[in-house]
Amino acid sequence: MEKQNKPIGFIDSGIGGLSVVDEFLTAMPEAPIVFVADNARCPYGNREPEEIQQFAFEMIDYLISEHDIQLLMIACNTIVSRALDAIIARYPDLPIVDVVSNGAKVAANLTFTEHVSVLATFQTVQSESYVKMINRYHPNLTIEQFAPVEWVPMIEACSVDESLIRNYTDQLSPESDCVVLGCTHYPFILPQLKAVAPDKAFINPAYQTVQEALPLINRELFLGHCQLVLTTGDAAEFADKIKFWLPERDFVVEHVELT
């Protein structure tokens, strides 16, 4: 029987998930990957939980049926916050790694002041997924949350507006020493965040997420190293976004229809 290539699958609402893909390929550059970005319906942050769950199912169904992925990395905090339990129940045989549990673990272990800030989408904040998960690792921490609703559209537009960034960093408590970037779009503006809030330790959950994934991967199932990026939006436009945020990466970018 001919061996089947089994790549690593990634899903997100938009460009943000590529911050996780970038971290993953730094650790395992030879890996074939397939990343699905649902740009046509981005952002997810203000959508209803039922919609988010359905969109996630559509992306995962596609990755399984068309690409036979061996592992799924959910590179979207909003999907994790609103659909993780349903995803695990629907795909019991698929290894799944998520950004929220890993970001929470780092924050719980890193804080000295026992005061942590979370910057995330509205749905992630409303779900309190980070609050619950951080307290699981380190009970009784003080956790504050903010939803910078303008940031995802700003990043999707390949724009950096310092005033929009400061609108939220200026609200961070002086007692908070760690800030979780609870949306995978936000690491793209990490240099600006560090510049306007140099006293904070900003946590990008991608690194820890990748470290969790690596031992679960079977390299013998790699039959090539095609790195495919699929978008439900305009492929040329998405390729331009990748060139803006990740100029050193060379992905194959194509349009995909999920429904």
- Residue ranges per domain, the chain? 8-98+208-255, 100-205
DSSP state of 205: T
Of 76, 158, 178, 226, which residue is the catalytic one?
76
- Which CATH class for the 100-205 domain? alpha beta
pTM: 0.93
**Are residues 18 and 81 in contact, defined by beta-carbon separation less than 8 angstroms?**
no
Domain 8-98+208-255: assigned CATH number? 3.40.50.1860
Of 42, 158, 178, 183, which residue is the catalytic one?
183
Within 8 A by CB and 6+ apart from 101, the residues are: 80, 133
pLDDT of the residue at 3? 58
Judge whether 76 counts as a catalytic residue: yes
Domains 8-98+208-255 and 100-205 share a fold: yes
**Over 50: is that where the pLDDT of 97 sits?**
yes
Judge whether 158 counts as a catalytic residue: no
Structure tokens at 124: 């992630």
**Are residues 23 and 207 in contact, defined by beta-carbon separation less than 8 angstroms?**
yes
Binding site for substrate: which residues? 12-13, 44-45, 77-78, 184-185
| Least trusted range by pLDDT, from 189-193, 218-222, 236-240 | 218-222
